[in-house]
Amino acid sequence: MDLHPGIAVHALFASGAPVLGPARTSATFRIVMTASQIESFEEFWPHYVHAHRDPRNRVLHYAGTTAVLGTVAAATLTINPGWLLLAPIVGYGPAWAGHFVFEKNKPATFEHPLWSLRGDFKMYFLALRGQMRAEVERVCGSLPADHGHASHLGHPLGAVNGA
Protein backbone atom coordinates (compact mmCIF):
# COMPACT_ATOMS: atom_id res chain seq x y z
CA MET A 1 0.00 0.00 0.00
CA ASP A 2 1.44 3.38 -0.97
CA LEU A 3 1.23 6.18 1.56
CA HIS A 4 1.15 9.89 0.96
CA PRO A 5 4.78 11.15 1.05
CA GLY A 6 4.12 13.28 4.14
CA ILE A 7 2.78 10.26 5.99
CA ALA A 8 5.81 8.18 5.06
CA VAL A 9 8.14 10.88 6.43
CA HIS A 10 6.09 10.97 9.60
CA ALA A 11 6.31 7.18 9.85
CA LEU A 12 10.09 7.43 9.69
CA PHE A 13 10.10 10.05 12.43
CA ALA A 14 7.51 8.33 14.62
CA SER A 15 9.04 4.87 14.57
CA GLY A 16 12.72 5.80 14.42
CA ALA A 17 13.21 3.07 11.81
CA PRO A 18 13.49 3.48 8.06
CA VAL A 19 10.28 3.19 6.11
CA LEU A 20 10.83 0.62 3.37
CA GLY A 21 7.63 0.61 1.36
CA PRO A 22 4.80 -1.81 2.06
CA ALA A 23 6.88 -4.00 4.41
CA ARG A 24 6.28 -1.60 7.33
CA THR A 25 4.44 -3.03 10.31
CA SER A 26 0.74 -2.45 10.74
CA ALA A 27 1.43 -0.92 14.17
CA THR A 28 3.63 1.76 12.60
CA PHE A 29 1.01 2.32 9.93
CA ARG A 30 -1.73 2.64 12.58
CA ILE A 31 0.28 5.14 14.61
CA VAL A 32 0.94 7.24 11.55
CA MET A 33 -2.61 7.13 10.27
CA THR A 34 -4.03 7.93 13.71
CA ALA A 35 -1.71 10.87 14.24
CA SER A 36 -2.45 12.32 10.83
CA GLN A 37 -6.18 11.55 10.76
CA ILE A 38 -7.29 12.94 14.11
CA GLU A 39 -10.35 14.93 13.15
CA SER A 40 -11.57 16.52 16.37
CA PHE A 41 -10.34 17.81 19.69
CA GLU A 42 -12.16 14.95 21.40
CA GLU A 43 -10.03 12.45 19.43
CA PHE A 44 -6.91 14.52 20.11
CA TRP A 45 -7.38 14.82 23.89
CA PRO A 46 -6.31 11.24 24.87
CA HIS A 47 -3.09 11.67 22.85
CA TYR A 48 -2.51 15.05 24.51
CA VAL A 49 -3.04 13.57 27.99
CA HIS A 50 -0.71 10.68 27.13
CA ALA A 51 2.02 13.15 26.16
CA HIS A 52 1.62 14.91 29.54
CA ARG A 53 1.73 11.97 31.96
CA ASP A 54 4.77 13.21 33.88
CA PRO A 55 3.65 15.69 36.57
CA ARG A 56 6.91 17.65 36.19
CA ASN A 57 6.05 18.31 32.56
CA ARG A 58 2.57 19.44 33.57
CA VAL A 59 4.01 21.82 36.18
CA LEU A 60 6.21 23.41 33.50
CA HIS A 61 3.12 23.76 31.29
CA TYR A 62 1.21 25.43 34.14
CA ALA A 63 4.11 27.84 34.69
CA GLY A 64 4.19 28.67 30.98
CA THR A 65 0.43 29.15 30.74
CA THR A 66 0.46 31.38 33.84
CA ALA A 67 3.29 33.42 32.32
CA VAL A 68 1.32 33.80 29.07
CA LEU A 69 -1.69 35.05 31.00
CA GLY A 70 0.66 37.45 32.79
CA THR A 71 2.00 38.87 29.53
CA VAL A 72 -1.56 39.35 28.24
CA ALA A 73 -2.48 41.11 31.49
CA ALA A 74 0.65 43.29 31.31
CA ALA A 75 -0.13 44.22 27.70
CA THR A 76 -3.67 45.15 28.68
CA LEU A 77 -2.81 47.08 31.83
CA THR A 78 0.08 49.00 30.30
CA ILE A 79 -1.63 49.40 26.91
CA ASN A 80 1.62 48.13 25.42
CA PRO A 81 1.18 45.27 22.94
CA GLY A 82 4.95 44.69 23.04
CA TRP A 83 4.33 42.41 26.03
CA LEU A 84 2.53 40.02 23.69
CA LEU A 85 5.82 39.32 21.90
CA LEU A 86 6.95 37.51 25.05
CA ALA A 87 3.91 35.21 25.16
CA PRO A 88 5.26 32.48 22.83
CA ILE A 89 8.65 32.49 24.57
CA VAL A 90 7.37 32.32 28.14
CA GLY A 91 4.65 29.84 27.18
CA TYR A 92 6.43 27.43 24.87
CA GLY A 93 9.85 27.59 26.54
CA PRO A 94 8.98 25.76 29.76
CA ALA A 95 6.42 23.51 28.06
CA TRP A 96 8.83 22.29 25.40
CA ALA A 97 11.56 21.81 28.00
CA GLY A 98 9.14 19.55 29.88
CA HIS A 99 8.58 17.43 26.79
CA PHE A 100 12.23 17.11 25.86
CA VAL A 101 13.62 16.64 29.39
CA PHE A 102 10.93 14.65 31.22
CA GLU A 103 8.56 13.06 28.70
CA LYS A 104 11.17 12.47 25.97
CA ASN A 105 8.53 13.18 23.33
CA LYS A 106 7.68 15.74 20.68
CA PRO A 107 5.30 18.55 21.69
CA ALA A 108 1.84 18.23 20.14
CA THR A 109 2.19 21.85 18.99
CA PHE A 110 4.25 20.67 16.02
CA GLU A 111 1.39 18.66 14.47
CA HIS A 112 -1.79 20.13 15.96
CA PRO A 113 -1.02 23.70 17.10
CA LEU A 114 -4.58 24.89 17.77
CA TRP A 115 -5.74 21.71 19.47
CA SER A 116 -2.53 21.73 21.49
CA LEU A 117 -3.20 25.29 22.65
CA ARG A 118 -6.76 24.31 23.56
CA GLY A 119 -5.35 21.26 25.37
CA ASP A 120 -2.92 23.46 27.32
CA PHE A 121 -5.79 25.56 28.63
CA LYS A 122 -8.03 22.56 29.31
CA MET A 123 -5.18 20.93 31.26
CA TYR A 124 -4.51 24.22 33.10
CA PHE A 125 -8.11 24.65 34.21
CA LEU A 126 -8.45 20.97 35.16
CA ALA A 127 -5.33 21.44 37.32
CA LEU A 128 -6.75 24.57 38.96
CA ARG A 129 -9.80 22.48 39.92
CA GLY A 130 -7.53 19.66 41.17
CA GLN A 131 -8.76 17.27 38.47
CA MET A 132 -5.84 16.79 36.07
CA ARG A 133 -4.22 13.88 37.92
CA ALA A 134 -7.56 12.06 37.84
CA GLU A 135 -7.86 12.82 34.12
CA VAL A 136 -4.45 11.25 33.45
CA GLU A 137 -5.56 8.21 35.43
CA ARG A 138 -8.87 8.07 33.56
CA VAL A 139 -7.23 8.25 30.13
CA CYS A 140 -4.06 6.23 30.77
CA GLY A 141 -4.75 4.40 34.03
CA SER A 142 -5.64 0.95 32.74
CA LEU A 143 -2.74 0.93 30.29
CA PRO A 144 0.77 -0.19 31.29
CA ALA A 145 3.03 2.58 32.64
CA ASP A 146 5.33 2.37 29.61
CA HIS A 147 2.50 2.37 27.04
CA GLY A 148 2.81 4.28 23.79
CA HIS A 149 0.39 6.32 21.73
CA ALA A 150 -0.56 3.19 19.76
CA SER A 151 -2.04 1.72 22.96
CA HIS A 152 -4.77 4.35 22.85
CA LEU A 153 -6.01 2.89 19.56
CA GLY A 154 -7.45 -0.20 21.21
CA HIS A 155 -8.36 1.55 24.45
CA PRO A 156 -12.00 2.61 24.93
CA LEU A 157 -10.92 6.25 25.31
CA GLY A 158 -8.43 6.16 22.45
CA ALA A 159 -10.73 6.79 19.54
CA VAL A 160 -13.46 8.94 21.06
CA ASN A 161 -13.32 10.74 24.36
CA GLY A 162 -16.30 12.46 25.84
CA ALA A 163 -14.16 14.85 27.89
CA dist., res. 107 & res. 140, Å (int): 18
Q: Which domain holds residue 127?
A: 39-159
Q: 150 and 140 in one domain?
A: yes
pTM of the model: 0.70
Q: Are residues 30 and 79 in the same domain?
A: no
Q: Which pLDDT score, from 0 to 100, does residue 156 have?
A: 53
Q: What average pLDDT does the structure give for the chain? A: 78
Considering the domain architecture, whether residues 48 and 60 belong to the same structural domain is answered as yes
**How far does Cα 136 stand from its chain's mean position?**
13
Do 32 and 45 share a structural domain? Answer: no
Same domain, residue pair 127 and 51: yes
The verdict on 85 and 26 lying in the same domain is no
Split into its structural domains, the chain has a count of 2
pLDDT digits (tens, 9 = 90+) for 124-134: 999 999 999 99
Predicted pLDDT of residue 149? 60
Q: Is 58:44 a contact under the CB 8 Å cutoff?
A: no
Same domain, 79 and 91: yes
One domain for residues 129 and 140: yes
pLDDT digits (tens, 9 = 90+) for 80-112: 999 999 999 999 999 999 999 999 999 999 999
**60 and 103 within one domain:** yes
* 163 residues of the chain, pLDDT tens digit each: 333 333 333 333 333 444 333 333 333 333 333 456 899 999 999 999 999 999 999 999 999 999 999 999 999 999 999 999 999 999 999 999 999 999 999 999 999 999 999 999 999 999 999 999 999 999 998 776 666 666 655 555 444 344 3
What distance in Å separates the CA atoms of residue 50 and residue 123, rounded to the nearest whole number? 12
